[in-house]
Amino acid sequence: MTTATENAEPPKDNKPDFPAELLSQVAALPSLPGVYRYFDAEGQVLYVGKANHLKKRVSSYFQKTHDGTRIGHMVSKIARMETTVVRSEAEALLLENNLIKTLKPRYNILFRDDKSYPYLKITRAKSAEVDSLGHPSPKAISRVVYYRGAVDRQHDYFGPYPSVWAVREAIQLLQKVFRLRTCEDTVFRNRTRPCLLHQIKRCSAPCVGMVSEQDYQQDVQNACELLSGRTREVMKALESRMMAHAEVLEFEAAADVRNQINALSKVLHQQSVDSVDDRDVDILAVLVQGGKACVNLAMVRGGRHLGDSPYFPTHVDNAEPVEVLEAFISQHYLEIAAPPTLITSHAVDKTLVSALSEQIGIKLHVIHQPREQRKAWLEMAQQNAAIKLARLLAEEGSQQSRTRALIDALDLAPEDIDSFLIECFDISHTAGEATQASCVVFHHHQMQAAQYRRYNIEGITGGDDYAAMRQVLTRRYSKLAEAVRAGEAKFPDLVLIDGGKGQISMAKSVFEALDLDVSRLVGVEKGEGRKVGLEELVFADGRPKLTLSQDSSALMLVAQIRDEAHRFAITGMRAKRAKVRTGSSSLEDIPGVGPRKRAKLLQRFGGVRGVADASVQDLCTVEGISLELAQAIYAALH
């Protein structure tokens, strides 16, 4: 006889059923640092994570319930996993970051990594050579310049700055206070009298000897000190220099230094947010709202608040703010130099900070609840994050309404409005020369520049736009159609053609030959007088033309996509035409033509076009260009 207790069903814990092989693999994991990767049944990567203790971390996913959460959705799809053991958590952090960027997992919060930050660069004096007039060589006079790219030890770099505007503002500061030169070396070398910048007291004109090299170098040193945050030291040095000039009765020189002091004092007074103690600090504020997130990064360099920059990650869903913040820190500071202090809106995992410190080689101090000036910085960053996220949500709401308006106007029935996909084609050439076709993509309510494509059109009569359209559509959709039938790709919900009945007829014949749905083909025909806002939509399936009102959201979206296709085609055509007209090679590709000879050629003939038009005899008149090299240059450009 059985009891009621024996007959009762065991309680359900709502955990998904995992393959036995997967669970045994979890049980066999080592207690070592490493990186784990989860995959679904189709082999798509779901998530990449790191752990200082692989077995403990991975087991937590399968032992706990995650109902209704973002992690719960991910765990329910896990079919298999892969792990990589490393020597330390710092190595795990680096490997995790590389895998996230490469694999772009569905449940990892992703930040774009293609953003390069600008720097302020001050070149170092290297040579004391002078020309026949006694003027110094450009290499002997330091120059302040805006810079992007890899830094080296040959010059002094300050930054990174959050924006180009911040760099230019810093350069203007140095011009006002220290009058450092910003001109190119070629301009500097050919000056015979001071330029306009000297007349408006923005440059001391070292090019024509209006300031001694010693005094100019002192100004450069003071500028570096100021950018490093040593404001007091700079002020004291300027005061000492002013008094030294006054003691030897050099009152004009003393007055110049006094003006520098006044200019510096005025600039520092105008800088509303500054600090003597904090020289290099990053302030990170994160806000999650409406399925979107914004991480606002504010930068303090040399004690000066330089402004901020917003980041909008993907794959956020309903992630917690601290998850977004930790994802940003781990991905951002492996690529960008980190300051010693981070001020954050949320407390982050100490093990992450420790691993990141070990990986980048500096001790990071992360402050979650700052006081005084730091608190004011964080409040500013939080307010800016709220403003920028609200703007993003408003813009996306507007784009969604445009997408919906276009779907309604064309009487379409897509499976999902958020994944509505549009491709648009345009042909561009100049009197039949350098014909190119462009294909631009609109997806997820915005243009997807990374998916744009250009097609070189060959084997047709110059100026035959119909043949060009036939070629590009055939090349674009012949393979895609096979992939769609095999269930491996998605076909566009709408294909826009920049053209009227003729282009649509050509496109229709291509679609019919490929057995594609012609109802997805729509032409954008110019209106009366080719005026913007008077366009008409031409359908390939025989429906009558559709004319939308000028204030129609659907027409605005069509015009936006069509104009982007036109712009993309024009820029490609012009680049191809320029390459055709100047030869398939550039000066950089010609053996024996280094930077110096290239500069002399460009200066002598006024540009690449002039070099291409020059004869072999003309090329030989340039210093350093032998007859053999002139012949090689001529052959390469013709």
Question: Chain-wide mean pLDDT for the chain?
Answer: 82
Answer whether residue 606 shows pLDDT above 90: no
- Alpha helices by DSSP H, listed for 465-615, are 465-485, 501-513, 553-581, 595-605, 608-613
Beta bridge partners of 284: 297, 344
pLDDT for residue 147: 85
Q: Where are the alpha helices (DSSP H) in 32-108?
A: 54-63, 70-75, 89-103
Taking a C-beta distance cutoff of 8 angstroms, is the pair 123, 300 a contact?
no
Q: Which residue ranges form the domains of the chain, and what is each CATH number?
A: 22-88 (3.40.1440.10), 118-270 (no CATH), 282-299+309-392 (3.30.420), 417-580 (3.30.420.340), 587-637 (1.10.150.20)
Q: How far apart are CA 614 and CA 609, in angstroms?
A: 9
Average pLDDT value for residue range 4-22: 58
Sorting pLDDT into bands at 50, 70 and 90, what band is 269?
very low
Per-range mean pLDDT, top range of 336-340, 344-348, 498-502: 344-348
pLDDT in tens, 570-583: 887 666 655 544 44
When pLDDT is cut at 50, 70 and 90, the band that residue 366 belongs to is: very high
Cβ-contact 54, 83 below 8 angstroms: yes
- Is the pLDDT assigned to residue 272 strictly greater than 50? no
Q: How confident is the model at residue 276 (pLDDT cuts 50, 70, 90)?
A: very low
User: How many CB atoms neighbour CB 107 within 10 A?
Assistant: 19
Pairwise CA distance, residues 535 & 541, whole Å: 19
- What is the predicted pLDDT for the residue at 583? 46
Which of the residue ranges 224-228, 237-241, 263-267, 308-312 would you say has the lowest mean pLDDT? 263-267
More confident residue, 127 or 49: 49
Q: Give pLDDT, residue 22.
A: 86
* pLDDT over 60 (residue 584): no
What pLDDT does residue 166 have? 79
Q: So what's the pLDDT on residue 345?
A: 94
CB 378 within 8 A of CB 343: yes
Question: Does pLDDT of 277 surpass 70?
Answer: no
194, 205 Cβ separation under 8 angstroms: yes
- What confidence score (pLDDT) does residue 429 get? 79
Question: How sure is the predictor about 343, in pLDDT bands with cuts at 50, 70 and 90?
Answer: very high
Backbone φ and ψ for 245, nearest 5 degrees, come out as -65, -40
* 545-557: average pLDDT: 84
Task: Measure the CA–CA gap between 435 and 427, rounded to whole angstroms.
Answer: 7
pLDDT score of 31 more than 60: yes
> What is the model's pLDDT at position 127?
67
Q: At a CB cut-off of 8 Å and minimum separation 6, what does 440 contact?
A: 423, 424, 447, 452, 561, 564, 565, 568
pLDDT given for residue 256 in this prediction: 76
pLDDT category at 436 given cuts 50, 70, 90 is confident
User: For residue 13, what are its two tokens?
Assistant: 């814990």
Query: In sequence order, what are the residues at sequence separation of 6 or more whose Cβ sits closer than 8 angstroms to the Cβ of residue 163?
Result: 118, 307, 309
Q: Calculate mean pLDDT across residues 5-12.
A: 44
Whether the pLDDT of residue 235 is over 80: the answer is no
Residue for token pair 């981070």: 342
Share of the chain above pLDDT 70, in %: 87
- Nearest to 525, CA basis, from 545, 507, 505, 495: 545
Which has the minimum average pLDDT: 136-150, 268-282, 329-343? 268-282
pLDDT beyond 60 at 11 = no
User: For the chain, what is the radius of gyration of the CA atoms?
Assistant: 32
Reported confidence tier of residue 218, pLDDT bands at 50, 70, 90: confident
| pLDDT for position 581 | 47
Q: At a CB cut-off of 8 Å and minimum separation 6, what does 403 contact?
A: 417, 420, 445, 557
Distance CA 554, CA 98 (A): 41
Lowest mean pLDDT among 4-18, 242-256, 393-407: 4-18
- Which residues contact residue 335 at a Cβ distance below 8 angstroms, ignoring those fewer than 6 apart? 113
Report which of residues 385 and 527 the model is more confident about: 385
Helix then strand then coil, % of the chain, to nearest 5: 45, 20, 35
The per-residue pLDDT for 36 is: 94
Residue 588: the pLDDT is: 67
The 144-148 sheet, strands edge to edge: 144-148, 118-122, 156-158
- The set of long-range contacts for 398-404, using a CB threshold of 8 Å and a minimum separation of 24, is 399/445, 399/446, 399/557, 400/445, 401/553, 402/445, 402/553, 402/554, 402/556, 402/557, 403/445, 403/557
The pLDDT score that the predictor gives to residue 486 is 78
Lowest mean pLDDT among 298-307, 478-487, 600-609, 622-631: 600-609
DSSP-based three-state secondary structure for 277? coil
Q: Determine the Cα–Cα distance for residues 523 and 423; give it in Å rounded to an integer.
A: 12
Q: Check the CA dihedral 152-157-158-160 and report its sign.
A: negative
What's the confidence (pLDDT) of residue 110? 86
pLDDT reported for residue 472: 92
Q: What is the pLDDT of residue 264?
A: 67
In the three-class reduction of DSSP (H, G, I as helix; E, B as strand; rest coil), residue 32 is classed as coil
471 is written with which tokens? 């070629």
Phi first, then psi: give them for residue 323, nearest 5 degrees: -65, -45
Query: Which tokens is 33 given?
Result: 């640092």
- Residue 473: what pLDDT? 94
pLDDT digits (tens, 9 = 90+) for 376-400: 889 989 998 998 888 888 877 788 8
Do 527 and 503 form a contact (C-beta atoms < 8 A)? Answer: no
Yes or no: say if 151 and 157 are a contact pair by the CB < 8 Å rule: yes
* Mean pLDDT along residues 126-131: 66
Neighbouring residues of 272: CB distance < 8 A, sequence distance ≥ 6: 305
pTM: 0.58
pLDDT digits (tens, 9 = 90+) for 172-186: 888 888 889 998 888
Structure tokens at 128: 């004391």
